[in-house]
Structure 1
């Protein structure tokens, strides 16, 4: 009887230790060292800039379609509007995670090429659709990506791009982006926040006039007044 109780205690202790190990492995005890997202260079400099946060999937057609009017709005409003792009690799797009990881790798190697690569994905994303890569291994897809990325950012980066896909840090950074996006309540792409508030119908690709309707009142509003009535 005593031996049976002793065995139960051992099993309970082992189970508790296993649970602690699992929780420690799954939990992120510290925030990342850098705020998530890619800052669009155009329009920097105004501390009172209206902040747009865009959540994209590099191989999402709706993300692709929403980019040209958003880019047009950024050019139109100049330093009055700033943009940060976050990545949400959607699980039903087979290559979304590896494409997002590619953007993080390039952002680390050559930050000035990040948005050029994002636009490259938007122009060539059909290459990485589910149907087109159904019979390709993950290794083959990564090899193809390295080849394409080298052509975009330069031959001198080829070996660094290869090693980037085996670097655990780039995998973790891409996971952090996914977790950050979901923590903001984002469930699809494209998705937009303006000055921290969810944009109505954020999941739909907006045209330039749609962005003007959102931004004109905010740009024209006196800085000392509350301008968030649009979202209420």
Structure 2
């Protein structure tokens, strides 16, 4: 027969684990607003979970931007950088985005687009024989073209800053908490889209009815 005191200790431990917060709560919600602030309740909100080293994320970006421009003021866009574990250099790229944003908040989207344009050289095969230090140095050189050369030392130091590591981890965990298992993934007004391949016409077919309902 188990000791009653031991039983109480086990129950207390289980209760404490159930009540404890599984992940730390960040100071602000994850994600980067594109161009204009969100107007909750007055615009359709699209959340895009993108990996800077994912070719499908790259291909989805242009039609999403086209839709944003078309619906000027009626569509809000938030991008969450999500490092997929099967893309070898994705976490370093996402961390670069967080460092860039910390140093120059207007550089996040230009750097994201630079990653999309040059992502081929950061794929797993081309970098198989390269050290992490070489990859970090190359990404730093790329980032400084939009962040500013004057931030060279600060950007390199960013990779030793635990806050940027934590921010990149939170982005990944936030994606997991929303059920994101691959990129790109999209949520419209909080609801996930079943289709991850969304072209410009598909975006119009999704957004138009929502705006029409809002007017009514």
- Structure 1 gap segments, 5+ residues each: 1-11, 226-232
The 3-state SS of whatever aligns with 1:104 is helix
Distance 1:157 1:208, change over 3 A: same
1:196 correspondence with 2:187? no
The 3-state SS of whatever aligns with 2:72 is helix
Query: For the Cα contact (< 8 Å) 2:58–2:116, is it kept in 1?
Result: yes
Counterparts of 2:28 and 2:187 in 1: how far apart (Å)?
A: 20
- Structure 2 gap segments, 5+ residues each: 1-5
- How many residue pairs match? The answer is 201
The 3-state SS of whatever aligns with 2:71 is helix
Aligned-residue offset at 1:199: 1.2
Give 1:101's match in structure 2, choosing from 91, 95, 99: 95
Query: Cα RMSD (Å) of the superposition?
Result: 2.2
Residues 1-150 of structure 1: matches in 2 within 5 Å?
30-42=24-36, 44=37, 46-47=39-40, 48-150=42-144
Counterparts of 1:46 and 1:187 in 2: how far apart (Å)?
A: 28
Aligned-residue offset at 1:30: 3.8
TM-score by length of 1: 0.81
Corresponding residue for residue 161 of structure 2: 167
Query: For the Cα contact (< 8 Å) 2:44–2:75, is it kept in 1?
Result: yes
TM-score by length of 2: 0.87
Aligned-residue offset at 1:150: 1.2
Counterparts of 2:178 and 2:38 in 1: how far apart (Å)?
A: 26
Distance 1:81 1:140, change over 3 A: same
Task: Find runs of 4+ consecutive structure 1 residues off by over 4 angstroms.
Answer: none
Counterparts of 1:197 and 1:45 in 2: how far apart (Å)?
A: 16
The 3-state SS of whatever aligns with 1:221 is helix
Counterparts of 2:152 and 2:130 in 1: how far apart (Å)?
A: 21
Measured against aligned partners, the alpha-carbon deviations of 1:167-210 in whole angstroms (never above 9, x if no partner) come to 01100110011001011000000000000001121x22x11101
Query: For the Cα contact (< 8 Å) 1:56–1:85, is it kept in 2?
Result: yes
Corresponding residue for residue 170 of structure 2: 176
Counterparts of 2:193 and 2:147 in 1: how far apart (Å)?
A: 33
Distance 1:97 1:79, change over 3 A: same
